[in-house]
Amino acid sequence: MNPELQIEFPIGDVPLPLYFNVAQRAAEKLKWKRYSVSGNTLIYHTRGINNILGEIITITMSEGIATFHSIAANEYYYHEHQNQLNADRFRHTVVEMLSKIEAAQRIQSPLVREKYGALMPSPTYMVTPILIYLNVLVFLLMCAGGVSPIQPSVDALFAWGGVNRQAVVAGQSWRMITYMFLHAGFLHILFNMFALVYIGQLLEPLQGKFRFAVSYILSGVCAGLLSMLMHPYSVGVGASGAIFGMYGVFLAMLTTNFISRTARNTMMRSILFFVVFNLFMGMQGNVDNAAHIGGLVSGIIIGYVYFPGIRRKEKMQSQIIVSTILLLAIGILSWFTIGYLQKLGLRSFLF
């Protein structure tokens, strides 16, 4: 063991009183014996082998920085790399506790926005910005390839991967994914990305990155299935079927007591207004409400399937198992639907 170790930990914009409280809880969790508390300084003793006094650890906090200092309590104590190990354990425990506090605050108030901005990925908000980047990138590639940014033709949308009953029945099932990243003009992608940002900032930190990504894709697939069922000859493009799915997932969570009552009531009104307004607007023109409804209903079901694991804060392995079951279920649904469409058997709809 080095006779002495000093490390500085950045604490970012975490309020000093909060970090001070968390540092004490972290030391208690590590079973260090508190020696003194003075101002913004904590002093602890650790125990070595045979319960002898091990290290004297001093943690001093100032704005933006926590200084961890460790020194052997006496010349008889020796344990190689133990002071570095204790520093690493302390930092990991503090980070874990702060993450849990942030998650709890989000549950109580999902109106909290990402501190890095709506378009910047963060540890709890990563999938939404990536989906936005992908949609915008595909739109720019379409424009660079000669597709009109204002009113692209049906042939162009089909060529880029729009969903169409005849094509999917003929074996081009990949269109069930690609259509979600295509848009029929600048205004189409603008409105869809705005809706995605809104729901993503609320839902992704609560649901988790992996569940959010799976919910998005599976809702989009279900939206495409219902669209093909209702519209035999259309070429469908757009992310809003999948986005409606995310609103459905959030609606499912809002019917539980997972979110505080005040926030729940506020968000329920907001989400229901979005859903009803957009379904009504879908009745006015060239918009595919079948896709919206397919995404919404599948999203609600997916939300209820995932909810028990969200409440229990399941680890990734459990999330993968539940997601695999959902994937198999929707895969079977797709197989039966496409088979049915085969037995039954270019106007562009925006969704």
What are the catalytic residues?
240, 292
Which amino acid appears at position 205 of this protein?
A: P
The 3-state DSSP class for residue 142 equals: helix
Q: Are 193 and 185 spatial neighbours (Cβ–Cβ below 8 Å)?
A: no
The backbone torsions φ and ψ at residue 319, rounded to the nearest 5 degrees and listed phi first, read -60, -40
328/20 Cα distance (integer angstroms): 47
What is 124-182 written as a DSSP string?
Answer: TB-HHHHHHHHHHHHHHHHHHTT--SSS--HHHHHHHT-B-HHHHHTT-TTHHHHGGG-
The CB density around residue 96, as the number of other CB atoms within 10 Å, is: 13
Q: Are 227 and 236 spatial neighbours (Cβ–Cβ below 8 Å)?
A: yes
The 3-state DSSP class for residue 205 equals: helix
- Packing angle between helix 261-281 and helix 240-254, nearest 10 degrees? 150
84/7 Cα distance (integer angstroms): 9
Contact partners, residue 259, CB within 8 Å, separation at least 6: 107, 108, 110, 206, 253, 267
Q: Which residue has the tokens 């999902």?
A: 110
> For residue 233, is it left (φ>0), alpha (ψ between -120 and 50) or beta?
alpha
Nearest partner of 256 among 183, 310, 202, 331, judged by Cα: 310
